[in-house]
Amino acid sequence: MITVEQLQDAIMQRIDSFNQTDLPIEKRNHKTCALLDSKNHILAKNILSPFSVPRNDLSAMDGYAIAQGSDLSQGSKIDIVGESQAGSPYIGEINVGQGVRIFTGAVVPNACDTVVMQENTNFDDIKNTIDKSQSYRITLTQDAKIDSNIRKQGEEIESGDIILQAGKRINPADISLIANLGIDSVEVYQPLTVGVLATGDELVALGSPLKSSAQIYNSNTPTLKTLLADLPVVIKDYGIIADDSNETSSTVAKAMQECDVLISTAGVSVGDYDFLTTVIEQLGQINHYKVAMKPGKPFVFGELNKSLDKPVLYFGLPGNPLSTIVGTLQFVIPALWQLSGARTTEVPLTLSMQATLTNDVKKSVGRMDFQRGILSQDSKGQLQVESFAVQESHRIKQFSQANCLIVLAKDEGNLSAGAHVQVKPYPWS
Protein backbone atom coordinates (compact mmCIF):
# COMPACT_ATOMS: atom_id res chain seq x y z
CA MET A 1 0.00 0.00 0.00
CA ILE A 2 1.47 3.31 -1.12
CA THR A 3 2.16 6.10 1.40
CA VAL A 4 0.59 9.56 1.23
CA GLU A 5 3.89 11.12 0.19
CA GLN A 6 4.48 8.47 -2.49
CA LEU A 7 1.02 8.97 -3.96
CA GLN A 8 1.40 12.76 -3.97
CA ASP A 9 4.72 12.38 -5.78
CA ALA A 10 3.30 9.85 -8.27
CA ILE A 11 0.39 12.14 -9.14
CA MET A 12 2.70 15.12 -9.55
CA GLN A 13 5.04 13.18 -11.87
CA ARG A 14 2.16 11.87 -13.99
CA ILE A 15 0.68 15.32 -14.42
CA ASP A 16 4.09 16.76 -15.24
CA SER A 17 4.35 14.15 -18.02
CA PHE A 18 0.79 14.97 -19.13
CA ASN A 19 1.60 18.69 -19.31
CA GLN A 20 4.68 18.03 -21.41
CA THR A 21 3.52 15.20 -23.67
CA ASP A 22 -0.19 14.36 -23.64
CA LEU A 23 -1.47 17.93 -23.76
CA PRO A 24 1.53 20.29 -23.72
CA ILE A 25 1.03 23.51 -21.82
CA GLU A 26 2.19 25.63 -24.76
CA LYS A 27 -0.57 24.13 -26.94
CA ARG A 28 -3.43 24.71 -24.50
CA ASN A 29 -6.29 26.91 -25.60
CA HIS A 30 -6.33 30.46 -24.22
CA LYS A 31 -9.15 32.83 -23.51
CA THR A 32 -9.29 36.54 -22.88
CA CYS A 33 -10.51 37.18 -19.38
CA ALA A 34 -11.69 40.50 -17.94
CA LEU A 35 -9.31 41.53 -15.18
CA LEU A 36 -12.05 41.59 -12.55
CA ASP A 37 -12.95 37.98 -13.45
CA SER A 38 -9.38 36.68 -13.58
CA LYS A 39 -8.81 35.75 -9.92
CA ASN A 40 -7.43 32.18 -9.60
CA HIS A 41 -7.11 31.73 -13.37
CA ILE A 42 -3.69 30.72 -14.70
CA LEU A 43 -1.89 33.30 -16.80
CA ALA A 44 -1.19 31.97 -20.31
CA LYS A 45 1.09 34.79 -21.56
CA ASN A 46 3.69 36.96 -19.91
CA ILE A 47 2.44 40.43 -19.02
CA LEU A 48 4.81 43.26 -19.99
CA SER A 49 4.67 46.67 -18.44
CA PRO A 50 3.54 49.31 -20.98
CA PHE A 51 5.40 52.04 -19.07
CA SER A 52 7.80 52.62 -16.21
CA VAL A 53 6.64 52.71 -12.60
CA PRO A 54 6.81 55.38 -11.38
CA ARG A 55 6.25 57.07 -14.74
CA ASN A 56 8.09 60.17 -13.50
CA ASP A 57 10.23 61.16 -10.54
CA LEU A 58 7.73 61.53 -7.69
CA SER A 59 7.92 63.11 -4.28
CA ALA A 60 7.85 60.72 -1.33
CA MET A 61 7.00 63.53 1.10
CA ASP A 62 5.12 66.77 1.53
CA GLY A 63 7.75 69.49 1.29
CA TYR A 64 9.79 71.39 -1.28
CA ALA A 65 11.47 70.30 -4.52
CA ILE A 66 14.76 72.20 -4.80
CA ALA A 67 16.52 73.11 -8.05
CA GLN A 68 19.76 71.40 -9.02
CA GLY A 69 22.88 73.28 -7.94
CA SER A 70 21.16 74.99 -4.99
CA ASP A 71 22.81 75.29 -1.58
CA LEU A 72 21.32 72.50 0.55
CA SER A 73 23.07 73.34 3.82
CA GLN A 74 21.29 74.36 7.02
CA GLY A 75 20.26 78.04 6.97
CA SER A 76 20.07 78.30 3.18
CA LYS A 77 17.28 80.43 1.72
CA ILE A 78 15.16 79.01 -1.11
CA ASP A 79 12.69 81.07 -3.14
CA ILE A 80 9.46 79.11 -3.75
CA VAL A 81 8.05 79.96 -7.16
CA GLY A 82 5.16 77.54 -7.56
CA GLU A 83 3.47 74.31 -6.56
CA SER A 84 3.34 70.69 -7.77
CA GLN A 85 0.34 68.61 -6.78
CA ALA A 86 -0.57 65.01 -7.58
CA GLY A 87 -2.23 65.23 -10.98
CA SER A 88 -1.21 68.88 -11.48
CA PRO A 89 2.56 69.19 -11.99
CA TYR A 90 4.50 72.47 -12.02
CA ILE A 91 5.48 73.34 -15.59
CA GLY A 92 7.29 76.65 -15.19
CA GLU A 93 11.00 77.48 -15.08
CA ILE A 94 13.05 76.85 -11.93
CA ASN A 95 16.50 78.32 -11.41
CA VAL A 96 19.30 77.69 -8.91
CA GLY A 97 18.24 78.79 -5.46
CA GLN A 98 14.59 78.22 -6.24
CA GLY A 99 12.08 75.46 -5.57
CA VAL A 100 8.41 74.55 -5.60
CA ARG A 101 6.00 73.44 -2.92
CA ILE A 102 5.35 69.74 -3.55
CA PHE A 103 3.03 67.10 -2.17
CA THR A 104 3.38 63.34 -1.75
CA GLY A 105 2.97 61.58 -5.10
CA ALA A 106 3.38 64.75 -7.15
CA VAL A 107 5.80 64.96 -10.11
CA VAL A 108 9.23 66.37 -9.27
CA PRO A 109 10.15 69.01 -11.89
CA ASN A 110 13.03 68.01 -14.17
CA ALA A 111 15.13 70.91 -12.91
CA CYS A 112 14.96 69.64 -9.30
CA ASP A 113 17.07 66.92 -7.70
CA THR A 114 16.07 67.05 -4.02
CA VAL A 115 12.90 67.10 -1.96
CA VAL A 116 13.17 68.61 1.49
CA MET A 117 10.52 67.60 4.02
CA GLN A 118 8.47 70.56 5.21
CA GLU A 119 9.43 69.58 8.78
CA ASN A 120 13.04 70.45 7.90
CA THR A 121 12.15 74.03 6.92
CA ASN A 122 10.65 77.01 8.70
CA PHE A 123 7.30 76.21 7.09
CA ASP A 124 5.41 76.13 10.41
CA ASP A 125 6.63 79.65 11.20
CA ILE A 126 5.53 81.17 7.89
CA LYS A 127 2.58 79.07 6.69
CA ASN A 128 -0.03 81.56 7.88
CA THR A 129 1.62 84.39 5.95
CA ILE A 130 2.14 82.53 2.67
CA ASP A 131 0.38 83.98 -0.35
CA LYS A 132 0.19 81.10 -2.84
CA SER A 133 -0.23 83.56 -5.69
CA GLN A 134 3.20 85.02 -4.94
CA SER A 135 6.67 83.60 -4.52
CA TYR A 136 7.94 83.31 -0.98
CA ARG A 137 11.10 82.24 0.78
CA ILE A 138 11.81 79.30 3.10
CA THR A 139 14.85 78.52 5.22
CA LEU A 140 16.34 75.03 5.54
CA THR A 141 16.57 74.10 9.23
CA GLN A 142 19.00 71.23 8.59
CA ASP A 143 21.26 69.97 5.80
CA ALA A 144 19.56 68.20 2.89
CA LYS A 145 20.96 65.53 0.55
CA ILE A 146 20.70 65.35 -3.23
CA ASP A 147 18.11 62.78 -4.42
CA SER A 148 16.50 62.51 -0.99
CA ASN A 149 12.75 61.83 -0.74
CA ILE A 150 12.36 61.16 -4.46
CA ARG A 151 10.84 58.01 -5.95
CA LYS A 152 12.86 57.67 -9.14
CA GLN A 153 11.23 57.02 -12.50
CA GLY A 154 11.26 53.27 -13.22
CA GLU A 155 12.79 52.34 -9.86
CA GLU A 156 10.10 49.66 -9.36
CA ILE A 157 9.30 48.66 -12.96
CA GLU A 158 10.99 49.60 -16.22
CA SER A 159 8.93 49.91 -19.38
CA GLY A 160 8.88 46.49 -21.10
CA ASP A 161 9.67 44.52 -17.94
CA ILE A 162 7.90 41.18 -17.44
CA ILE A 163 5.73 41.82 -14.40
CA LEU A 164 3.97 38.43 -14.32
CA GLN A 165 5.00 35.23 -16.06
CA ALA A 166 2.84 32.60 -17.74
CA GLY A 167 1.85 29.96 -15.21
CA LYS A 168 1.13 32.52 -12.50
CA ARG A 169 -2.04 31.91 -10.50
CA ILE A 170 -3.67 35.33 -10.45
CA ASN A 171 -4.42 36.60 -6.96
CA PRO A 172 -5.85 39.91 -5.66
CA ALA A 173 -2.36 41.44 -5.33
CA ASP A 174 -1.67 40.57 -8.98
CA ILE A 175 -4.93 42.23 -10.01
CA SER A 176 -3.86 45.37 -8.17
CA LEU A 177 -0.51 45.34 -10.01
CA ILE A 178 -2.13 44.78 -13.42
CA ALA A 179 -4.74 47.46 -12.82
CA ASN A 180 -2.04 49.96 -11.90
CA LEU A 181 -0.69 49.48 -15.41
CA GLY A 182 -4.06 50.23 -17.00
CA ILE A 183 -4.54 46.66 -18.28
CA ASP A 184 -8.19 45.57 -18.17
CA SER A 185 -7.97 42.00 -19.55
CA VAL A 186 -5.50 39.11 -19.51
CA GLU A 187 -4.82 35.92 -21.47
CA VAL A 188 -5.47 32.82 -19.34
CA TYR A 189 -5.60 29.10 -19.99
CA GLN A 190 -9.01 27.70 -20.85
CA PRO A 191 -10.48 26.19 -17.64
CA LEU A 192 -10.47 22.42 -17.32
CA THR A 193 -13.77 20.55 -17.53
CA VAL A 194 -14.08 18.40 -14.43
CA GLY A 195 -16.79 15.76 -14.25
CA VAL A 196 -18.19 14.69 -10.90
CA LEU A 197 -20.44 11.77 -10.15
CA ALA A 198 -21.68 9.94 -7.09
CA THR A 199 -22.59 6.26 -6.94
CA GLY A 200 -24.91 4.28 -4.73
CA ASP A 201 -28.52 3.06 -4.70
CA GLU A 202 -28.92 4.60 -1.28
CA LEU A 203 -28.22 8.16 -2.43
CA VAL A 204 -30.90 10.78 -2.91
CA ALA A 205 -30.38 14.21 -4.46
CA LEU A 206 -30.86 17.29 -2.32
CA GLY A 207 -34.42 18.61 -2.54
CA SER A 208 -35.96 15.15 -2.97
CA PRO A 209 -37.66 13.29 -0.10
CA LEU A 210 -36.13 10.25 1.55
CA LYS A 211 -38.53 7.38 0.87
CA SER A 212 -37.01 4.72 3.10
CA SER A 213 -34.80 4.42 6.15
CA ALA A 214 -32.06 2.98 3.93
CA GLN A 215 -31.69 6.17 1.93
CA ILE A 216 -29.30 9.06 2.61
CA TYR A 217 -28.70 12.38 0.92
CA ASN A 218 -25.86 12.83 -1.54
CA SER A 219 -23.61 15.24 0.38
CA ASN A 220 -20.41 14.40 -1.51
CA THR A 221 -21.25 16.19 -4.75
CA PRO A 222 -22.10 19.52 -3.06
CA THR A 223 -18.96 19.11 -0.95
CA LEU A 224 -16.77 18.50 -4.00
CA LYS A 225 -18.24 21.43 -5.89
CA THR A 226 -17.59 23.71 -2.94
CA LEU A 227 -14.02 22.49 -2.46
CA LEU A 228 -13.27 23.08 -6.16
CA ALA A 229 -15.06 26.43 -6.38
CA ASP A 230 -11.85 28.51 -6.28
CA LEU A 231 -10.11 26.55 -9.03
CA PRO A 232 -10.15 27.54 -12.72
CA VAL A 233 -12.42 24.63 -13.69
CA VAL A 234 -15.86 24.10 -15.17
CA ILE A 235 -17.73 21.41 -13.27
CA LYS A 236 -20.01 19.00 -15.12
CA ASP A 237 -22.30 17.09 -12.77
CA TYR A 238 -23.29 13.57 -13.89
CA GLY A 239 -25.58 13.12 -10.93
CA ILE A 240 -26.11 9.94 -8.94
CA ILE A 241 -25.30 6.64 -10.64
CA ALA A 242 -27.08 3.50 -9.46
CA ASP A 243 -25.14 0.43 -8.39
CA ASP A 244 -25.45 -1.03 -11.85
CA SER A 245 -22.57 -2.12 -14.04
CA ASN A 246 -24.09 -1.00 -17.35
CA GLU A 247 -25.18 2.40 -16.07
CA THR A 248 -21.79 2.96 -14.47
CA SER A 249 -19.99 2.01 -17.70
CA SER A 250 -22.15 4.18 -19.97
CA THR A 251 -21.89 7.22 -17.68
CA VAL A 252 -18.11 6.95 -17.38
CA ALA A 253 -17.79 6.45 -21.16
CA LYS A 254 -19.85 9.61 -21.73
CA ALA A 255 -17.86 11.60 -19.17
CA MET A 256 -14.52 10.62 -20.64
CA GLN A 257 -15.59 12.11 -23.98
CA GLU A 258 -16.66 15.41 -22.41
CA CYS A 259 -14.18 16.04 -19.60
CA ASP A 260 -10.50 16.55 -18.86
CA VAL A 261 -10.78 15.01 -15.40
CA LEU A 262 -13.34 12.74 -13.78
CA ILE A 263 -13.89 12.54 -10.02
CA SER A 264 -16.20 9.99 -8.44
CA THR A 265 -17.29 9.33 -4.89
CA ALA A 266 -18.02 5.81 -3.58
CA GLY A 267 -17.94 2.63 -5.60
CA VAL A 268 -14.17 2.12 -5.37
CA SER A 269 -14.07 -0.41 -2.52
CA VAL A 270 -14.26 -4.20 -2.90
CA GLY A 271 -17.98 -4.75 -2.30
CA ASP A 272 -20.17 -6.76 -4.64
CA TYR A 273 -21.83 -3.56 -5.89
CA ASP A 274 -18.74 -1.41 -6.29
CA PHE A 275 -18.35 -1.35 -10.08
CA LEU A 276 -16.21 1.70 -10.70
CA THR A 277 -12.79 0.11 -10.44
CA THR A 278 -13.81 -2.57 -12.95
CA VAL A 279 -15.15 0.05 -15.37
CA ILE A 280 -11.99 2.17 -15.04
CA GLU A 281 -9.85 -0.85 -15.86
CA GLN A 282 -12.03 -1.61 -18.89
CA LEU A 283 -11.86 1.95 -20.26
CA GLY A 284 -8.41 2.84 -19.06
CA GLN A 285 -6.11 1.90 -16.24
CA ILE A 286 -5.65 2.23 -12.50
CA ASN A 287 -2.26 3.67 -11.62
CA HIS A 288 -2.61 3.46 -7.84
CA TYR A 289 -5.19 1.95 -5.54
CA LYS A 290 -5.25 2.28 -1.75
CA VAL A 291 -3.14 4.70 0.22
CA ALA A 292 -1.85 4.35 3.78
CA MET A 293 -3.98 7.09 5.29
CA LYS A 294 -6.92 7.42 7.65
CA PRO A 295 -9.55 8.33 6.66
CA GLY A 296 -9.58 7.59 2.94
CA LYS A 297 -7.61 4.38 2.34
CA PRO A 298 -9.53 3.24 -0.80
CA PHE A 299 -8.34 6.11 -3.00
CA VAL A 300 -7.98 5.46 -6.74
CA PHE A 301 -5.77 7.40 -9.15
CA GLY A 302 -6.04 6.32 -12.76
CA GLU A 303 -6.78 7.45 -16.28
CA LEU A 304 -9.29 6.80 -19.02
CA ASN A 305 -7.48 6.51 -22.31
CA LYS A 306 -8.98 3.94 -24.65
CA SER A 307 -10.16 5.51 -27.96
CA LEU A 308 -9.01 8.96 -26.77
CA ASP A 309 -6.37 11.25 -28.25
CA LYS A 310 -5.42 12.25 -24.70
CA PRO A 311 -6.07 10.54 -21.37
CA VAL A 312 -8.70 11.77 -18.93
CA LEU A 313 -7.30 11.66 -15.42
CA TYR A 314 -9.45 9.90 -12.87
CA PHE A 315 -9.73 10.29 -9.10
CA GLY A 316 -11.88 7.81 -7.20
CA LEU A 317 -12.77 8.96 -3.71
CA PRO A 318 -14.38 6.86 -0.99
CA GLY A 319 -18.07 7.38 -0.26
CA ASN A 320 -17.52 8.51 3.30
CA PRO A 321 -17.92 12.34 3.32
CA LEU A 322 -14.94 12.90 5.59
CA SER A 323 -12.75 10.71 3.39
CA THR A 324 -13.91 12.69 0.36
CA ILE A 325 -12.85 15.97 1.97
CA VAL A 326 -9.45 14.76 3.17
CA GLY A 327 -8.64 13.04 -0.14
CA THR A 328 -9.65 16.12 -2.11
CA LEU A 329 -7.48 18.41 0.03
CA GLN A 330 -4.45 16.15 -0.05
CA PHE A 331 -4.47 14.92 -3.64
CA VAL A 332 -7.17 16.28 -5.95
CA ILE A 333 -6.87 20.04 -5.45
CA PRO A 334 -3.05 20.20 -5.83
CA ALA A 335 -3.33 17.97 -8.91
CA LEU A 336 -5.96 20.19 -10.55
CA TRP A 337 -3.87 23.33 -9.99
CA GLN A 338 -0.88 21.65 -11.58
CA LEU A 339 -2.97 20.28 -14.45
CA SER A 340 -4.44 23.75 -15.02
CA GLY A 341 -0.98 25.02 -15.94
CA ALA A 342 0.09 26.58 -12.65
CA ARG A 343 3.81 26.47 -12.04
CA THR A 344 4.82 24.19 -9.18
CA THR A 345 5.62 27.21 -7.01
CA GLU A 346 2.09 28.51 -7.67
CA VAL A 347 0.27 25.40 -6.43
CA PRO A 348 -1.25 26.50 -3.11
CA LEU A 349 -0.31 24.29 -0.19
CA THR A 350 -2.28 23.95 2.99
CA LEU A 351 -0.37 25.81 5.68
CA SER A 352 1.33 23.44 8.13
CA MET A 353 2.52 24.37 11.59
CA GLN A 354 3.52 22.83 14.88
CA ALA A 355 1.27 22.89 17.93
CA THR A 356 1.17 21.31 21.38
CA LEU A 357 -1.43 18.66 22.13
CA THR A 358 -3.71 19.51 25.05
CA ASN A 359 -5.03 15.96 25.40
CA ASP A 360 -3.96 12.35 24.84
CA VAL A 361 -4.41 10.94 21.32
CA LYS A 362 -4.98 7.35 20.24
CA LYS A 363 -3.25 6.33 17.02
CA SER A 364 -2.47 2.97 15.42
CA VAL A 365 0.85 2.48 13.63
CA GLY A 366 0.71 1.84 9.89
CA ARG A 367 -1.20 4.72 8.30
CA MET A 368 -0.90 8.51 8.28
CA ASP A 369 -3.79 9.74 10.36
CA PHE A 370 -5.65 13.00 9.77
CA GLN A 371 -7.50 13.71 13.00
CA ARG A 372 -9.93 16.54 13.53
CA GLY A 373 -8.92 19.14 16.06
CA ILE A 374 -9.41 22.65 17.37
CA LEU A 375 -6.37 24.91 16.98
CA SER A 376 -6.01 27.89 19.31
CA GLN A 377 -3.47 30.02 21.18
CA ASP A 378 -2.76 29.86 24.88
CA SER A 379 -2.35 32.93 27.11
CA LYS A 380 1.26 33.29 25.95
CA GLY A 381 0.36 33.15 22.28
CA GLN A 382 1.67 29.60 21.77
CA LEU A 383 -0.25 27.32 19.41
CA GLN A 384 -2.12 24.44 20.99
CA VAL A 385 -4.50 21.87 19.57
CA GLU A 386 -7.17 19.67 21.06
CA SER A 387 -8.04 16.44 19.29
CA PHE A 388 -11.59 15.14 19.42
CA ALA A 389 -11.80 12.07 21.62
CA VAL A 390 -13.73 10.08 19.04
CA GLN A 391 -12.32 10.05 15.51
CA GLU A 392 -14.68 7.84 13.48
CA SER A 393 -14.59 8.92 9.87
CA HIS A 394 -18.38 9.10 9.52
CA ARG A 395 -18.68 12.00 12.00
CA ILE A 396 -19.20 14.90 9.63
CA LYS A 397 -20.62 17.16 12.35
CA GLN A 398 -17.31 16.79 14.16
CA PHE A 399 -15.47 17.85 11.02
CA SER A 400 -17.61 20.98 10.87
CA GLN A 401 -16.88 21.77 14.53
CA ALA A 402 -13.09 21.44 14.05
CA ASN A 403 -10.85 24.04 12.42
CA CYS A 404 -7.81 21.93 11.52
CA LEU A 405 -6.45 18.51 10.73
CA ILE A 406 -3.85 17.03 13.05
CA VAL A 407 -1.37 15.14 10.86
CA LEU A 408 0.09 12.08 12.60
CA ALA A 409 2.86 10.23 10.77
CA LYS A 410 2.41 6.66 9.57
CA ASP A 411 4.82 5.17 12.10
CA GLU A 412 3.56 7.16 15.10
CA GLY A 413 1.51 5.49 17.83
CA ASN A 414 -0.40 6.93 20.77
CA LEU A 415 0.61 10.43 21.88
CA SER A 416 0.30 12.12 25.26
CA ALA A 417 -0.77 15.64 26.07
CA GLY A 418 2.20 17.98 25.70
CA ALA A 419 3.52 16.28 22.56
CA HIS A 420 4.28 18.44 19.54
CA VAL A 421 2.28 17.64 16.40
CA GLN A 422 1.85 19.05 12.90
CA VAL A 423 -1.47 20.69 12.15
CA LYS A 424 -3.04 21.93 8.92
CA PRO A 425 -5.68 24.63 9.43
CA TYR A 426 -8.68 24.26 7.17
CA PRO A 427 -8.20 26.42 4.06
CA TRP A 428 -11.50 28.10 4.82
CA SER A 429 -10.73 28.85 8.50
- List, for residues 20-67, the tens digit of each pLDDT value: 999 899 899 999 999 999 999 999 999 999 999 999 999 999 999 999
Q: Tell me, what's the pLDDT at 273?
A: 47
Report domain 30-52+163-189's class. alpha beta
Whose CA is closest to 296, among 276, 326, 334?
Answer: 326
Whose CA is closest to 190, among 44, 30, 343, 39?
Answer: 30
User: CA angle, corner 339, sides to 301 and 221, nearest 5?
Assistant: 60
Q: What is the CATH number of domain 353-425?
A: 2.40.340.10
pLDDT at 310 over 90: no
CATH for 4-28+191-346, among 3.40.50.720, 3.30.1490.100, 3.40.980.10, 3.90.180.10?
3.40.980.10
Overall fold of domain 58-151 = Molybdopterin biosynthesis moeA protein; domain 3 (2.170.190)
Say how far apart CA 327 and CA 316 lie, in whole Å. Answer: 9
pLDDT at 343 over 90: no
**Residue 14 one-letter amino acid:** R
Domain borders along the chain are: 4-28+191-346, 30-52+163-189, 58-151, 353-425
Using 50, 70 and 90 to split pLDDT, how confident is the model at 269? low
What confidence tens digit (pLDDT) does each residue in 15-24 have? 999 999 998 9
Phi-psi region of 200 (alpha: psi -120 to 50; beta: other; left: phi over 0): left
